[in-house]
Structure 1
Amino acid sequence: MSSDQYIIEGARTPVATARWYQLFIGVVCMMAISSPQYVWTLFTGPLTNKLGVSLAQVQITFSLLIILQTFFSPVQGYLVDRFGIRLLVGLGCTLSGLSWVLASQASSLSMLYLSYGVVGGLGTGIVYVGIVGLMVRWFPDRRGFAAGAVAAGYGMGAMLTTFPISNSLQSAGMEQTMMTFGLVLGVVGLAASRFLRQPPALLRDAAVAQTPQTVSDVAPREMLKTPVFWLMFAMFTMMSTSGLMVTSQMASFAKDFGMTTVMVMGMAALPLALTIDRVCNGLTRPLFGWISDRFGRENTMAFAFLFEGVAMTLWLLTINNPVLFVLLSGVVFLGWGEIFSLFPSTLTDTFGTRHATTNYGFLYMAQGIGAVFGGPVAALLHQYTSSWYPVFAVAISFDIVTALLAFFVLKRMRMNWLAAHAL
């Protein structure tokens, strides 16, 4: 019996049970690597003060994190398939935790870039691509929901650390905070990774309502030649830019709008908003994944992307109201986080499951481009215009354009592709 087959007490666990167990473990692994991205905004102020540099220079760290997380995704996906899910995800969780330990000792921008950006990006990328690729194989009948559930772990994981990290920054300082949380999160992720397994070659268990694959498997080399892939890539890039602008810049524009010194319901507005954001950013992924399983990928994309554009517009118009700042920030993330369930499920629906991990690795590279535009480029646009309004205008425009592309272009293009490549 293969070591990748799932065994409990000497007996093979029914797939119907095993896959839900694997989904839970995958969520834990994703939660362990989420904080480097989603609490980054809390570190930007202390880092600019410590290193004596500008916000745009510090934000390069965030871009490096996402670029390394995404641009090496095809290689990371191949390594996961080649050397096994447990080994690679365990390594990724370790690198993610180690990046904070090293960053806590950084005394220059180059050291910060190397530790938080490069080491952290490589580690989180291995885990993210590996877990998503694993889940679309375990759940052929609920692909959108499964991809959304583990992506929710990534989106919501920082919910558990936002207030503790914010409080620790106040009481213990940045160095001790990074050191402590880096060690804890690295150990948790490494321990969880030891329980991951690949699904059996065929999901034969009668309890699994498997939907047979209806499209031929397309290898990465051939996929990269198709217009439908590059349309999805462009759409992913625009949506990533919009969301990552908010993720990376939130503490900065909250300070400019006077939201870092106010209280809402007896709590500081910024960490409260970030906590609510993590909840909404997580819930939206399985929610819209589930909706797309039933009402179509492109229809769901069009609604969700337009929803975010409207929410971001309302947020900008009411940004000086502390209560609405907190509440609408959550609504904005409710309309953004679903890209991490809709795009991988749409891609696998289109190009098959055999190369799902590596194929998604290529698409996930769009997140890296979005990090450049949403991070340092957005910071530079603010610096040169002395206003956040042009930055928001670009992000809102991307949301609306991508919604229109999903409904009017991608829907027809995929329909033609599937008709030509059906089994």
Structure 2
Amino acid sequence: MELTKKRWIILIASCFINLCIGSIYAWSVFAAPMAAYLSSLTGRTLTPGDLAIVFTICNSVGPITMISGGWINDRFGPKKVILVGGILFGGGMILSGFATSVGFLVFAYGIVLGLGTGMIYGCTISNSIKFFPDKRGLVGGVTTAAYGLSSVIIPPIANMFISNSGVTSAFFIIGTAFLIIICVASFFIEKCPADFVPTGWTPQAANVGRTLKEDKNWKGMLASPIFYVMILLLISGAFAGLMCVSQASPIAQKMVGLSAAAATTVVSVLALFNTGGRILAGYVSDKIGRVNTLAITSLLSVAGLVLLYLSGESSVVTFYMGISMIGLSFGALMGVFPGFTADQFGAKNNSVNYGIMFIGFALAGYFGPSIMRSVYSADGSYQRAFVIAAICGLTGFILTFVYKWAVKRQDHKTMSPPNVMAN
């Protein structure tokens, strides 16, 4: 089967794999019952906020294996990387069911599962983008959307297992299922040849009006001032999304007064818009440009945060509108950035380059939930955290203009002819 057709099978397998690892976004559904379970074991009262460190570390360690796994992927192919990552991911979730302390849960879910997530995520997305140079934005959106879609599907399934069998059994069952799915799907993944060009696609024709970027390795990327603008843009954009995703269920219960069951619906709605934003923005960014799409999503995030700030007890409609906007803008950011990185620094080394860029996501994943937890502990409300996140969103909007200025300056230097004596 020629690669132009086979690439679709590889994309579908990648999406199934990302559907499994995206279950980390359903953490808030596990947080409350796990806090109650550990409280009963330790005799110490724990809240979902006390377990936010688990989600924070899970996001923070991802870039470690994204970079190392990306390096292996670029040399030996993604199949082995995804297989090992699947064992870590499924094994980490299964181990979480044996947790008897917050420390062990941090190790199992935060570190083991988090390392597996980073190893897989970088490979599936970067490899898929290489197979689709003609649809880079759309495929980046689709592969990351599968990752986000998991938190639409997993919360009700996890809730069912938690209600029927308990939270530890839910970890065992879901972890085993994901371990099998990822490892089987990894055998359908192939490495994209360096010289691959889809049948009927001409790179020159597809890039009319767009500057073709030279492939840069990680050293070349880090030497470019544009990288630092981009990673700050990623931090600013991901801050609000990760802040809300990590504690969507507790926010809905404490701020709006929703029941635990209704709060699970909030998690699914947030994830649904997160997923839709990835596909929509990926497609739109192929039409209007990545940075223009990011400028729009930055403003959308600010608007959503304003609505959350105005929400209170029984402000259900305002709250749902705000959380939906946050999900849409966060999803758009994550859908656009893989292609954005490949556009700027080339697709050849994108596995490692995007892994390094993803450090921005990890930083946002640490500071977003941490600041929200600290604000709630100090104020007894989330409002000040929404203000901080809105400032980050506005910073991201400003950075899109800084990026355009930096690119024009770089292109001007590149295109400037050497000094020639006048006739």
TM-score of the two chains, using structure 1 as the length reference: 0.90
1:39 aligns with 2:21: no
1:241 aligns with 2:229: no
Shift of residue 305 of structure 1? Answer: 1.2
Q: 1:92-145 CA distances to partner (integer Å, 9 max, x unpaired)?
A: 122111111101110012111110000011100011101111022111122111
2:116 corresponds in structure 1 to 123
Q: Structure 2: how far apart are the matches of 1:259 and 1:54?
A: 17
1:28 aligns with 2:16: yes
Q: 1:418 to 1:150 in 2, by over 3 A?
A: farther
Match runs of 1:306-321 below 5 Å: 306-319=299-312, 320-321=314-315
Q: 1:388 to 1:198 in 2, by over 3 A?
A: same
Shift of residue 392 of structure 1? Answer: 1.0
2:363 corresponds in structure 1 to 369
Q: Secondary structure at the residue paired with 1:39? A: helix
Q: Structure 1: how far apart are the matches of 2:187 and 2:389?
A: 40
Retained in 2: the 8 A contact 1:350–1:414?
no
Q: 1:205 to 1:336 in 2, by over 3 A?
A: closer
1:355 aligns with 2:353: no
Q: Secondary structure at the residue paired with 1:217? A: coil
Q: Secondary structure at the residue paired with 2:358? A: helix
Q: 1:236-295 CA distances to partner (integer Å, 9 max, x unpaired)?
A: 112222111001111222221244328xxxxx4212222222221112112111111111
Q: Secondary structure at the residue paired with 2:200? A: coil
Q: Structure 2: how far apart are the matches of 1:294 and 1:253?
A: 36
Q: 1:370-390 CA distances to partner (integer Å, 9 max, x unpaired)?
A: 111122332122111222001
Q: Secondary structure at the residue paired with 2:110? A: helix
Specify which of 74, 97, 101 is matched with residue 104 of structure 1.
Answer: 97
Q: 1:387 to 1:155 in 2, by over 3 A?
A: same
Specify which of 78, 83, 88 is matched with residue 85 of structure 1.
Answer: 78
1:17 aligns with 2:10: no
Retained in 1: the 8 A contact 2:307–2:319?
no
Q: 1:418 to 1:151 in 2, by over 3 A?
A: farther
Specify which of 338, 341, 365 is matched with residue 332 of structure 2.
Answer: 338
Retained in 1: the 8 A contact 2:305–2:387?
no
1:9 corresponds in structure 2 to none
Match runs of 1:52-201 below 5 Å: 52=44, 53-201=46-194
2:421 corresponds in structure 1 to none
Q: Structure 2: how far apart are the matches of 1:76 and 1:321?
A: 45
Q: Structure 2: how far apart are the matches of 1:137 and 1:284?
A: 22
Retained in 1: the 8 A contact 2:64–2:115?
no
Unaligned runs of 5+ in 2: 39-43, 416-423
Retained in 2: the 8 A contact 1:269–1:322?
no
1:272 corresponds in structure 2 to 265
Q: Structure 2: how far apart are the matches of 1:70 and 1:402?
A: 21
Shift of residue 414 of structure 1? Answer: 1.9
Q: Secondary structure at the residue paired with 2:56? A: helix
2:396 corresponds in structure 1 to 402
Q: What letter corresponds to residue 17 of structure 2 in structure 1?
A: C
Retained in 1: the 8 A contact 2:215–2:349?
yes
Q: 1:84 to 1:199 in 2, by over 3 A?
A: closer
Q: What letter corresponds to residue 155 of structure 1 in structure 2?
A: G
Specify which of 382, 388, 391 is matched with residue 385 of structure 2.
Answer: 391
Residues paired across the two proteins, number:
403
Q: What letter corresponds to residue 222 of structure 2 in structure 1?
A: L
Retained in 2: the 8 A contact 1:273–1:325?
no
Shift of residue 228 of structure 1? Answer: 0.8
Q: What letter corresponds to residue 120 of structure 2 in structure 1?
A: V
More helix by share: 2
Shift of residue 201 of structure 1? Answer: 3.3
1:226 aligns with 2:209: no
Unaligned runs of 5+ in 1: 1-12, 263-267
Q: Structure 1: how far apart are the matches of 2:85 and 2:152?
A: 21
| Aligned CA-pair RMSD | 1.9
Q: 1:259 to 1:96 in 2, by over 3 A?
A: farther
Retained in 2: the 8 A contact 1:92–1:127?
yes
Q: Structure 2: how far apart are the matches of 1:209 and 1:239?
A: 33
Retained in 1: the 8 A contact 2:86–2:116?
yes
1:49 corresponds in structure 2 to 36
Retained in 1: the 8 A contact 2:145–2:274?
yes
Retained in 2: the 8 A contact 1:15–1:207?
no
Retained in 1: the 8 A contact 2:132–2:198?
no
Q: Structure 2: how far apart are the matches of 1:356 and 1:137?
A: 9
Q: Structure 1: how far apart are the matches of 2:118 and 2:96?
A: 18
Q: 1:172-202 CA distances to partner (integer Å, 9 max, x unpaired)?
A: 2111111111111221111111101122332
Deviates more, 1:93-102 or 1:53-62: 53-62
Retained in 1: the 8 A contact 2:14–2:124?
yes
Q: 1:88 to 1:421 in 2, by over 3 A?
A: farther
Retained in 1: the 8 A contact 2:256–2:319?
no
Q: Secondary structure at the residue paired with 1:337? A: helix
